[in-house]
Structure 1
Amino acid sequence: MTYYQQQLQQLQARLYPQPEVGDRLRRARHLIDRQFADPLDLGQLAAAACYSRFHFLRQFKRYYGCTPHEYLRTVRLAHARRALLAGQSVRDVCFAAGFDSVSSFSGLFREWAGCSPAAFRQRRAKSNFGEAGS
């Protein structure tokens, strides 16, 4: 085994110590992916991974590079983006993506996408209209 292979193996062992850790964390991530519109809390996600809440939080961040809440927010915003592109109303998208209020959704979406959901939708509608008129 070369020096670089040894270094890579040591790094992998430090970052991903046991395969079952990844399996447990993937169960929680898949729960988020499937049920992102539902109200999910840290306790539910930790239970899916068979960890205590705080240990789960640390492990998830270590493994994925973000907290479970950050991952859930990203999944919800990505779903909202697709729904806005499909022409759904901002209000419908907000609640279908699992957000509690249109104003908080709009603020998060603006921070994430660089414009409000309504502006994003209008911009997309104009570009589609321009393509259809060509």
Structure 2
Amino acid sequence: MTFYEKEIHRIGRKVYANQSQINAVIRTRQHLENNYGANTNLNYLSSVGAVSKYHLLRLFKRYYGLTPTQYVTDKRIGKAKEHLKDGMSVTQTCFAVGFQSLGSFSTLFKRKTGKSPHQYQKEQLSRSI
């Protein structure tokens, strides 16, 4: 059992949550972890979690503090950092982690990290030398 799953179970016991709701959130998060590069919309995620899309939003936000979209974005940015450290080009990284537009990837990456993808990669590569 992962740290997040343990935390959800701990929190669930504390606030007397419905176990099926916890399971739906865990299934959804596991799906997002394994398919972060895919274009997953809320309708699809609600079928994975077997709950309505609006209920899924509320549950996911309650248990993880983020919406599913925010969670996927953070996951993609984290994976992008790894790819950039490994020397993958910015364009390849953009599409490898599931973004459809280089411009939106660069803007979002800079907003989340404070640096453009190219600046981030340059710093990481200079540190490894």
**TM-score when normalising by structure 2:** 0.87
In structure 1, how many angstroms separate the alpha carbons of the residues matched to 2:85 and 2:51? 38
Aligned length: 120
**Unaligned segments of structure 1, at least 5 residues:** 1-8, 130-134
Q: How does 1:1-134 map to 2 (within 5 A)?
A: 12-13=14-15, 17-129=17-129
Deviation at 1:57, TM superposition (A): 0.8
In structure 1, how many angstroms separate the alpha carbons of the residues matched to 2:63 and 2:124? 35
**TM-score when normalising by structure 1:** 0.84
Detail structure 1 runs of 4+ shifted over 2 Å in the superposition: none
Deviation at 1:59, TM superposition (A): 1.1
Match for 2:57: what amino acid?
L
Match for 1:117: what amino acid?
P
In structure 2, how many angstroms separate the alpha carbons of the residues matched to 1:38 and 1:83? 17
Identity of aligned residues (%): 31
In structure 2, how many angstroms separate the alpha carbons of the residues matched to 1:124 and 1:60? 33
**Unaligned segments of structure 2, at least 5 residues:** 1-10
RMSD between aligned alpha carbons?
A: 1.9
Deviation at 1:19, TM superposition (A): 2.1
Match for 2:61: what amino acid?
K
The Cα offsets for residues 62-110 of structure 1, whole Å up to 9 and x where unpaired, read as 1111101000100111110111111100000000000011110001100
Structure exhibiting the larger radius of gyration computed from Cα positions: 1
